Amino acid sequence: MGTSTNYSASPNWKDAKKQVTQAGGEGFVTPEKAASLISTLVSQMAKESSLGFGSPSGGGGSGGAGGSGGGGSRGGTGVGRSTRASGGSIRNVARGVGSFLSEVQQKGFEQALADHGLTDLSDKSPYEIALELADILYEPASLIDDNILRDALIDMMMEWSEGQDSFEDLSANFEEASSDINGVLHELMGHYIYQVFKSVGYQGVLNTHGFEAAESMCGQIRDYIDARVSDFESTRNLSSVAWNGQEGADVVDGIVSDTLDLFGGDE
């Protein structure tokens, strides 16, 4: 499943880690302080090519929620490994999530699961189904990224399965998500930023200020990220995007660009 990366141990993250540790002793994290911390974090993420928050390695312009998107052909939604290999792992996984939700909209949740090899569901809880699906959607990135991305994807899937008692309830949540793929992919970016934040800053706050301070700070940062992402207006229907081609790459490039703009990160 890839190798877990300790970002806090890398000298590239020294400034971000120092700022988080200092802020962790202040108790309440003001919106201004949260914005500053996340801007610093996202700026560093944009410099780490393996994370996929910088400039894409392939060609093509941006075309996320706020833009017009790529102009490639529409049709098939499967994402092949050859096109998944470029642009950083968050981009790869985002295209996979977009592809799967397009399938849900076109075929229904149960058939989309079956097409990905999840057919024996009778004894599985909604939580177990969501967890297995997260692993399937993450797997193509596993050789080139770390478990932080997997945690971000699982986080999002667990939110969709939380409190659901039946397959029908879970299916309804995924059907709803498939109607706003744009919003879901921005949400995934938010989960990823939060997981990187935890990797960079949690241990320093824990060691310096204690468990309660570390948990409190992470909770406040998560609320800030969620609030910022929820403010983003999704205006584009992505259900028929050809995720395995340049169009899909352009859409995700645009969503990453949106995220950098939203949180003030510099490429």
Question: Could you tell me the residue ranges of all domains in the chain?
Answer: 13-52+85-264
- The packing angle between helices 211-230 and 246-263, to 10°, is 120
pLDDT tens profile 39-65? 999 999 988 877 778 766 444 433 444
The pLDDT > 70 percentage for the chain reads 79
d(CA 248, CA 64): 10
To the nearest whole number, what is the mean pLDDT of the chain? Answer: 82
Q: How many alpha carbons fall within 13 Å on the CB side of residue 193?
A: 33
**How many residues appear in the chain?**
267
- Its sign, for the CA torsion 85, 98, 77, 54, is negative
- What pLDDT was estimated at residue 174? 96
**Amino acid occupying residue 55:** S
- What pLDDT was estimated at residue 27? 85
Using alpha carbons, list the distances in angstroms from residue 219 to 45, 58, 205. Answer: 21, 36, 13
Which of 141, 138, 105, 136 lies closest to 238 in space, CA to CA?
A: 105
d(CA 6, CA 11): 11
117 contacts: CB under 8 Å, gap ≥ 6: 136
- What pLDDT was estimated at residue 240? 84
DSSP per residue, 16-78 = HHHHHHHHTTSSS--HHHHHHHHHHHHHHHHH-GGGT-SS-SS------TTS-----------
Ranges of residues in the chain whose predicted pLDDT is under 50: 1-4, 57-87, 142-145
Token pair in block for residue 163: 């409190």
pTM (two decimals): 0.84
CA dihedral 114→250→265→7, nearest 10 degrees, is 50
Using alpha carbons, list the distances in angstroms from residue 137 to 51, 154, 157, 159. Answer: 17, 10, 11, 16
